[in-house]
């Protein structure tokens, strides 16, 4: 049973527009949420995180929103750039030491 | 500061053999985690070590094992390899709880 679901395997957006990536989780005990991106042949790279005491966290073009009642988080990228094209993961967990990953969403930003 | 280093980058083994993968964490990071990435399953947690002790373990058979040395370097071993063990094995280190994991570029294992 998947504890973390990224229901969109892929997403395509135009350069300059907003990219919205979504993630749903099932375990209400999870209280630490992160987003990573991964290029082919490289390891995942940390983007942004949020703890359960917040509902929004921003870092430059990246904003993560957390809806605890819906067990849902999303990542907004504004404006999207071609270099953002990658697979995005939303690991969640009770601590950093055992994260549960979704299967990822492939984002393609078209010039 | 050097990142997480994993060796080798690529490995081809035959069914039934065993393999050892190595990971050198970022200097000062004492927690090392291992993940398996396969096309169908995404990233799955294998285990996590801190100060030479395994603190967490994922749902993998006993053929998968690991250890951590006093310098925080870690190794994972897979014995009696199966075709389904073909995957990208990722190592990540962290300075502490609630600090982001820093991943290496992985070891691509192919079992024939």
Q: How confident is the model at residue A2 (pLDDT cuts 50, 70, 90)?
A: confident
Sign of CA dihedral B45, A2, A94, A37: positive
**Predicted confidence (pLDDT) per residue in B26-62, tens digit:** 999 999 999 999 987 789 999 999 999 999 899 999 9
DSSP string, B24-48: EPPTT--EEEEEEEETTTEEEEEEE
Among the partner residues B42, B101, B102, nearest to A102 by beta-carbon distance: B42
**3-state secondary structure at position B57:** strand
* pLDDT of B47: 94
Give the model's confidence band at A97: pLDDT under 50 very low, under 70 low, under 90 confident, else very high. Answer: confident
How does pLDDT run across B67-94, given as a tens digit for each residue?
999 999 999 999 999 999 999 999 999 9
Contact B97 A99 (CB under 8 A): no
Across the interface, of A42, A49, A103, the residue whose CB is closest to B100 is: A49
Closest residue in B to A105 (Cα) is: B42
Report the alpha-carbon distance of residue B87 to residue B78 in Å, rounded.
12
pLDDT for residue A81: 98
Contact between residue A9 and residue A103 where contact means Cβ atoms under 8 Å apart: yes
């Amino acid at each position: 049973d998947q504890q973390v679901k990224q229901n969109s395997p892929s997403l395509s957006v135009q350069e300059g527009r907003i990219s919205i990536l979504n993630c749903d989780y099932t375990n209400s005990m999870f209280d630490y949420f992160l987003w990573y991106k991964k290029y082919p042949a490289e390891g995942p790279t940390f983007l942004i995180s949020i703890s359960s005491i917040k509902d929004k966290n921003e870092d430059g073009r990246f904003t993560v929103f957390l809806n605890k009642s819906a067990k849902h988080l999303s990542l907004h990228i504004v404006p999207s750039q071609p270099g953002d094209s990658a697979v995005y993961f939303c690991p969640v967990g009770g601590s950093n030491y055992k994260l549960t990953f979704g299967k990822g969403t492939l984002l393609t930003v078209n010039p | 500061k050097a990142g997480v280093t994993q060796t080798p980058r690529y490995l081809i083994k035959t069914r039934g053999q065993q393999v050892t993968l190595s990971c050198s964490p970022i200097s000062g990071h004492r927690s090392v985690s291992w993940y398996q990435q396969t096309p169908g399953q995404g990233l799955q947690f294998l285990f996590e070590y801190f100060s030479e002790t395994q603190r967490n373990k994922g749902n993998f058979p006993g053929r998968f094992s690991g250890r951590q040395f006093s310098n925080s370097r870690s190794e994972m071993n897979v014995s009696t390899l199966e075709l389904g063990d073909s995957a990208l094995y990722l190592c990540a280190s962290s300075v502490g709880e609630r600090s982001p994991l820093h991943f290496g570029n992985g070891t691509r294992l192919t079992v024939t």
